[in-house]
Chains A and B, each alone.
Chain A
Amino acid sequence: MPGFGPEVAAACLLLVATRAWLGDRLAGPRRDWLVAAASVVVVASWQLAGVVVTLLLAGLTWLATRRSRSGLARLPTGIVILVLLAPLAVFKYWPWFAPHLGETWRPRTAWVVPLGLSFTVFRLIGALMDSRALRLTPAAPRLFLLATFFPTFPSGPITTLQSLRDLDNDDLRGALVEGGRRIVRGLARKVLLADPLHAFVVGPWLRPGVAQLEPYQCLVLPVLLGFYVYWDFAGYSDVAIGVARLVGYRVPENFDRPYLSRNLVEFWRRWHITLSEWIRTRLMMKMAGRRAGPWRLRGATLASMAICGLWHGAGTGYLAWGLWHGLGLIAVHALRDFRPRLEDAPARVPSELSAVAATATTFAFVSVGWVFFFFSPGDAILLVSGALSWRGGAGAASLVPLLTIGTLVVAYLGQGAARAVWARLPGVIRRVATAILLGLLTYALFLASGQPREFLYVQF
């Protein structure tokens, strides 16, 4: 399974060496073909079904985006989108839906979901919509590269024809340093933050079952899950962005300190940016239309967030998570409509304090959402009722929630200061700190007894 292992290292080495050797001679379509071919090999080493389905869908999209008067190019965009969505329906949603129809429909054997299918389908639908809207025919190598590009293949970022950009070969050293730094940062987020959080807290807490959780654990768990999913997915995105730079491409950012958002709209501009951008521009705005009234806009918001939830997987939990965020977004918009009237009133609360309150409220709202994302509806209800029954108490019952809140406050207040302090440190101290970080990473990746956990979003 994909985990940025030896196959990725070998592909990077080969491609970097080729870039260094051929320089500017390796550019444009030539480089796209070479990287696409390497990507096909890497993805095939992860899962053959993934690469076969991706190549078929990419071929179909390419035919549908050609400016000819025959064949697939003449099919309406909606029909081609339905065809592209078909594998998603067959592989991802049918096995979940079929048993609800009765025993006869239950699949007899376990289905293999092609790797990265949700991401591939969205990338290709995006390419199709863009090329049809702009009346452009994407070059075949670029389209196939977009579909198979190994750094982003398993879990994004969801690139588009515009956002997958070439890097010049003449600054190879700069790309290597920059890419290397991103990879180290991503791995550190994954193996030094997300994995230990899961191994030492979340995993042991959840092992006996949600019903066995203490109220204080129910209270704190959504926060911990929020950080776990953030460090894991942002770590993955960092590594993907770094690897892409090594092989000569710039892919869009996926995260921008989302937990500092002051409202949910801002959160979705900072969290899984490429997916939310895709949903907003290609789904919600299409559903709402250009001059949508407030109710149609609300409906489109709710529907597109429900689809966003279901995109993660077939399950009522994902649907509930999407709807939770949809309702939250509608509430934020409603509040904005109401706000001009508030702004006429004299200010009673200092703006900094209101910013903190807004950030805390958004964070709490998002944290509650993780309960739906990670648990079945039954367990989610248990967890929420457990959290609501928290009344403090002695020992861990008070200490753990206080410690969590304290850590959040310190992290919030210290976010800017840490960078400033780091920048002011003498070079030798920074190098020693880097050596310690690399030591910790080397240990976690290669020497620790347990293998690093798989990236969470690979399953989507």
Chain B
Amino acid sequence: MTRQRLAGRLVEAGCCLLVFVATLEACVRLEAAYRWGAPFWGAWSMDDLRSSGADGYFNRPGGRFEKWRINASGFRGPEIAVEKPSGVVRVGVVGASEVFGLYESPGEEVTAQLQQTLDATRPRRFEVVNLAAAGMSPPRMREFFEQRARAFGLDVVVVYPTPALYLDVEPPRRQPPVGATAPPTPRDSLRVLSQAWRMARERLPSPLQDMLKRLTIERERRPHGPGWVWDSTPADRLALFEEDTAAVLDAVRGSGARAILATHATRFGPSLDDQDRRMLLGWNRFYPRATTRCLLDMERKANGVLRRIGGEMDIPVTDIEKTMGGQSRYFADFSHFTDEGAQRAAGAMAREVLALPPAGVPARDRR
């Protein structure tokens, strides 16, 4: 074969490869357009949902990706009027990704199901707002209630804090000053790569997935000494969790709303099966500084703290942990709900909202 002919063959093979990749990319884009109404051209990624805080909040108003839609006020869910409609009790639920909703079908996340449950009891009396954002820690919640919440006229706020965030390498802290970090700008990119990566992760055999998770955890731990890893709950982090949660509750009260505190639920009951252990390992990957034993210990102790704070601050506590009973069918992973789990959590929250004494609702609704 002459050099010229070989070059011709290579160019042809390259063109065919290009056509192959272009076909894949077009298919991925068409599917997103068909399933989610995504634009064929332009940015389409999770980044469109997030803001690094230029507006003091995690969610990007108007952002959308797949089943998630952020309204103009920066909350997941339908548009709401900033000014509360008269005669309506506005109920906010604040938390991290568990409340924001990850795995539930569209319209089946905790807040949507809370709205349905309350509507079934007292139609058109309640308006539920999803105040959560992925990774929202108590300091960020506090910031929201101190800076933005009053404008929305929230009457009741259910606080669902995530204790595990306090096992991160650095403890959660308040938002850096406004404008300190530029929000990420979503850009158009080769979507087939992210789709291929996601599918590969989903379809890898479980033992291989576990091995990769272990390697990730080990890689995070390696540069640090053996004392870096916690085998039980670090007292200072638990104390910080307590302090921050109490501050959130104060901020909620300060915003004029009544608070309901919720304990944090996971899929892990008294005994663990293989699937639980796999999920626990997956959870551990996000908190390499803690062992799996530490993660479970932190959950147990933090829920004890939440129950105590509720008693001390005279705030009703909805015991989501007990409601879920560590049953795996309520969870799609370690702590994020399935549709059924979200329904159960929403039911427990609804009972507490409806049980609030009349002071919790506007005067005209006390009848």
Interface set of A (CB-CB < 8 Å, partner B): 428, 431-432, 434-436, 438-440, 442-444, 446-449
Contact = CB atoms under 8 A, between A and B. Distances in A.
B192 A447 contact: yes
Which among B12, B16, B31 has the greatest number of chain A C-beta atoms within 10 A? B16
Q: Is the interface of A mostly helix, strand, loop or mixed?
A: helix
B194 to A, nearest CB: 11
Contacts of A428: 12
Contact of B23 (A435, A446, A449): A435
Interface string B185-224: 0000000100110010001000000000000000000000
Given A431-B12, A432-B15, A447-B196, A439 B27 contact: yes
A449 B31 contact: yes
A439 B22 contact: yes
Nearest to B198: A447
A442 B35 contact: no
Contacts of B20: 435-436, 438-439, 442
Interface of B: 12, 15-17, 19-24, 27-28, 31, 35, 192, 195-196, 199, 203
Contact of A435 (B16, B27, B31, B203): B16
A434 B192 CA distance: 19
Given A432-B19, A446-B199, A447-B196, A439 B24 contact: yes
Nearest to B28: A447
A440 B23 contact: yes
Given A428-B12, A431-B12, A448 B19 contact: no
Contacts, number: 47
B6 to A, nearest CB: 16
A436 B20 CA distance: 6
Contacts of A432: 15-16, 19
A439 B19 contact: yes
Contacts of B27: 439-440, 443-444, 447-448
Contacts of A439: 19-24, 27
Contacts of A435: 16-17, 19-20, 23
A443 B16 contact: no
Contact of B24 (A431, A434, A447, A449): A447
A443 B12 CA distance: 22
Contacts of A440: 23, 27
A448 B31 contact: yes
A436 B199 contact: no
A436 B192 contact: no
A432 B16 CA distance: 6
Nearest to B66: A449
Contacts of A447: 24, 27-28, 192, 195-196, 199
B28 A436 contact: no
A395 to B, nearest CB: 22
B14 to A, nearest CB: 11
3 closest A-B pairs by beta carbon, nearest first, are A439-B23, A443-B27, A435-B16
Nearest to A434: B16
A264 B356 CA distance: 74
Contacts of B192: 447
Which among A431, A448, A449 has the greatest number of chain B C-beta atoms within 10 A? A449
A55 B22 CA distance: 48
Contact of A443 (B17, B19, B23): B23
Contacts of A442: 20, 24
Given A436-B20, A448-B27, 17 more contacts: A431-B16, A434-B16, A439-B20, A439-B21, A439-B23, A439-B27, A442-B20, A442-B24, A443-B23, A443-B24, A443-B27, A446-B199, A447-B24, A447-B28, A447-B195, A447-B199, A449-B35
Given A431-B16, A432-B15, A432-B16, A443 B28 contact: yes
A198 to B, nearest CB: 16
B40 to A, nearest CB: 15
Contacts of B23: 435-436, 438-440, 443
Nearest to B203: A446
A255 B192 CA distance: 36
Nearest to A443: B27
A217 to B, nearest CB: 21
Nearest to B27: A443
Contacts of A444: 27
